[in-house]
């Protein structure tokens, strides 16, 4: 089973992310693991002649295995807009050993509630006494155009359907990224696929799952209206799944990336983390950025700059999260003597909060990553840099203390600044080389002209410490801000 596009269309389990945990014996090669973790999904029911799909084993608890696949493989949709699965079908999982296991339909988790707005993903489980390996999940944010990939699955070729399908592995490269694709099919590649590959894994050259396959591009017009495959296919990045799937702590799995070495993250990992907590703050035609700092059940606490709100219609505030969802927001506090404002939005969908919120200023020369949504763009940008100045006794007016080398564009105000331990240390606020000479200390004095010349070269942010020392302690407790003990 595979989706074709006539133009271009475009679970609670526990997975430890190292990138994730793989159960693989030392003697087992990557090729063997790809085959052992890829499964058939077979479909049975009255009057059906469906070819079936594919999937990948992503978790094991005792004798229970969890398979990640495409929603359209395990949910024969009988509705038009809201997804509604047919109830007269049963599904089985076929493994590389030739065994076939009945899917426990009661544990099926459907991530696609709306046909076009939600990702085409689902998980199902089966019981087996046999020991099967678990696939290693990668970080799809690290995938670049040109990355080598392998698509595995059980296509319906040479007239074979259902359990008669053979395992295949086809190679290709990532050729494009389409962030606005329907149903989450953002990753485009040129590996050959066919009906029956849907739901199967897309691996990188290290044997890590980076996407779930499910869409083939096809064209058809004029005298030949029948769809003809163009050779381009698409998958849903694995990070889409990880941002929806909750771990044992109730947080999305993607929130719990493990540090590479010495308790620090790579820049790619940091981009993944900061992307999850950065939002676009919108009011009428203007916008800025914001940072998720805490949550209380389905209520999320945001920080932004008060100057961001001054250009927006506060009565029409909305926030756009990393997954392009829009939520109404309200202002809880706008500080008078700090360029800070506190917002709240509500969502049933889970979002990450910072690993830690630092109650201390960062050290000079500390490496950092800043992020935000520049004006007129819906795409987040990441700006690495270093802390070059700490001005705290006295600080500048409005709470500005951190001078750093990251280039901050208009619209990025309110976005987060993380250190390489993944801790939230500050909020963007002022870009380098400003038109106005805003450099005034809280005691009313000004820096020397030589100092101002140096300060103008830097972007400036407010340390989270300033917010923590000003906010009501009850707010910090209510929204479960995770305070760090170190820098």
What is the residue-averaged pLDDT of the chain?
Answer: 88
Specify the pLDDT at position 197: 95
Same domain, 26 and 170: yes
Find the helix or strand (DSSP H, E) in which 67 lies.
strand 64-69
The residue among 295, 358, 349, 355 whose CA lies nearest residue 326 is 349
pLDDT, average across residues 108-129: 91
Using pLDDT thresholds of 50, 70 and 90, give the confidence band for residue 9: very low
pLDDT, average across residues 141-152: 94
Answer yes or no: is 272 within a domain.
Answer: no
Answer yes or no: is 320 within a domain.
Answer: yes
Answer yes or no: is 261 within a domain.
Answer: no
Specify the pLDDT at position 23: 45
DSSP 135: P
Same domain, 321 and 422: no
Q: Which pairing describes strands 416-419 and 402-404: parallel, antiparallel, or unpaired?
A: unpaired
Answer yes or no: is 48 within a domain.
Answer: yes
Answer yes or no: is 294 within a domain.
Answer: yes
The residue among 24, 124, 110 whose CA lies nearest residue 71 is 110
Same domain, 182 and 216: yes
Same domain, 341 and 293: yes
The answer to whether the CB of 415 falls within 8 A of the CB of 427 is yes
In whole angstroms, give the CA distance from residue 234 to residue 175. 10
Last residue of a domain, one of 191, 217, 244: 244
- Name 429's Cβ contacts closer than 8 Å, sequence gap at least 6: 305, 307, 339, 398, 400, 413, 414, 460, 461, 462
In whole angstroms, give the CA distance from residue 27 to residue 44. 37
Query: 484 vs 239, which has greater pLDDT?
Result: 239
Last residue of a domain, one of 317, 346, 375: 346
Same domain, 114 and 94: yes
Query: 248 vs 274, which has greater pLDDT?
Result: 274
Q: Residue 434: is its pLDDT beyond 70? A: yes
Q: Which pairing describes strands 367-372 and 299-304: parallel, antiparallel, or unpaired?
A: unpaired
Same domain, 217 and 286: no
Answer yes or no: is 262 within a domain.
Answer: no
The residue among 90, 53, 21 whose CA lies nearest residue 212 is 53
Answer yes or no: is 253 within a domain.
Answer: no
Residue 467 domain boundaries? 356-478
Same domain, 47 and 119: yes
> Which tens digit of pLDDT belongs to each residue from 261-293?
677 899 989 999 999 999 999 998 889 999 999
Same domain, 360 and 340: no
Same domain, 96 and 172: yes
In a 10 Å sphere around its CB, with 0-12 CB exposed, 13-18 middle and 19+ buried, how is residue 224 labelled? Answer: exposed
Same domain, 67 and 153: yes
Supply the CATH number for residue 75's domain: 2.40.10.120
> Which tens digit of pLDDT belongs to each residue from 45-80?
866 667 889 999 999 999 999 999 999 999 876 566
Supply the CATH number for residue 415's domain: 2.40.10.10
Q: How many domains does the chain have?
A: 3
Same domain, 181 and 36: yes
Q: Is the pTM of this model over 0.75?
A: yes
Same domain, 370 and 341: no
In whole angstroms, give the CA distance from residue 233 to residue 175. 10
Q: Residue 248: is its pLDDT beyond 80? A: no
Answer yes or no: is 18 within a domain.
Answer: yes
| Termini Cα distance of the chain | 51
Specify the pLDDT at position 201: 98
Distances (CA, A) of 4 to 84, 151, 287, 334: 20, 17, 37, 50
Last residue of a domain, one of 315, 346, 377: 346
């Amino acid at each position: 089973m595979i989706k074709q596009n006539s133009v271009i269309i475009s679970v609670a389990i526990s997975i430890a992310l190292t990138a994730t945990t793989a159960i693989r014996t030392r003697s087992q090669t990557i090729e063997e693991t790809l085959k052992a973790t890829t499964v058939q999904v077979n479909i049975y029911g009255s009057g059906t002649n469906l070819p079936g799909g594919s999937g990948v084993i992503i978790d094991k608890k005792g004798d229970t295995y969890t398979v990640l696949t495409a929603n359209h493989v395990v949910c024969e949709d009988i509705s038009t807009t809201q997804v509604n699965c047919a109830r007269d079908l049963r599904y089985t999982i076929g493994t590389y050993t030739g065994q076939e296991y009945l899917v426990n339909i009661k544990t099926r988790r459907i991530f696609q509630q709306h046909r076009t707005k939600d990702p085409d993903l689902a998980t199902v489980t089966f019981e087996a006494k046999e020991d099967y390996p678990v696939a290693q999940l990668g970080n799809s944010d690290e995938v670049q155009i040109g990355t080598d990939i392998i698509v595995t699955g059980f296509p319906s070729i040479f007239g074979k359907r259902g359990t008669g399908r053979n395992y295949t592995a086809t190679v290709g490269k990532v050729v494009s990224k389409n962030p606005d694709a329907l149903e989450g099919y953002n990753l485009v590649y040129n590996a050959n696929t066919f009906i029956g590959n849907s739901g199967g894994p897309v691996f990188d050259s290290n044997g890590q799952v980076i996407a779930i396959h499910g869409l083939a591009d096809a064209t058809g017009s004029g005298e030949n209206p029948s769809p003809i495959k163009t050779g381009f296919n698409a998958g849903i990045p694995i990070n889409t799944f990880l941002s929806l799937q909750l771990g044992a702590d109730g947080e999305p799995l993607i929130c719990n990336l493990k540090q590479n070495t010495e308790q620090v993250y790579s820049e790619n990992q940091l981009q993944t983390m900061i992307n999850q907590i950065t939002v676009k703050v919108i009011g009428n035609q203007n916008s800025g950025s914001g940072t998720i700092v805490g949550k209380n059940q389905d209520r999320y606490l945001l920080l932004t700059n008060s100057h961001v709100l001054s250009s927006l219609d506060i009565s029409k505030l909305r926030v756009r999260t990393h997954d392009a969802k829009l939520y109404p927001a309200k202002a809880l506090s706008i500080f008078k003597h700090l360029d800070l404002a506190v917002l709240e939005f509500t969502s049933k969908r889970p979002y990450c909060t910072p690993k830690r919120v630092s109650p201390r200023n960062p050290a000079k020369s500390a490496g950092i990553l800043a992020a935000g949504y520049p004006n007129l763009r819906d795409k987040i940008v990441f700006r690495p840099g270093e802390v070059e100045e700490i001005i705290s006794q006295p600080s500048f007016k409005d709470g500005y203390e951190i001078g750093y080398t990251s280039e901050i564009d208009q619209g990025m105000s309110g976005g987060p600044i993380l250190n390489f331990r993944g801790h939230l240390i500050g909020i963007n606020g002022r870009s380098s080389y400003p038109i106005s000479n805003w450099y005034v200390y809280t005691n009313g004095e000004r820096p020397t002209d030589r100092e101002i010349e140096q300060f103008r070269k830097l972007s400036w942010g407010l340390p989270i410490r300033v917010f923590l020392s000003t906010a009501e302690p009850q707010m910090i407790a209510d929204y479960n801000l995770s305070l760090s003990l170190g820098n």
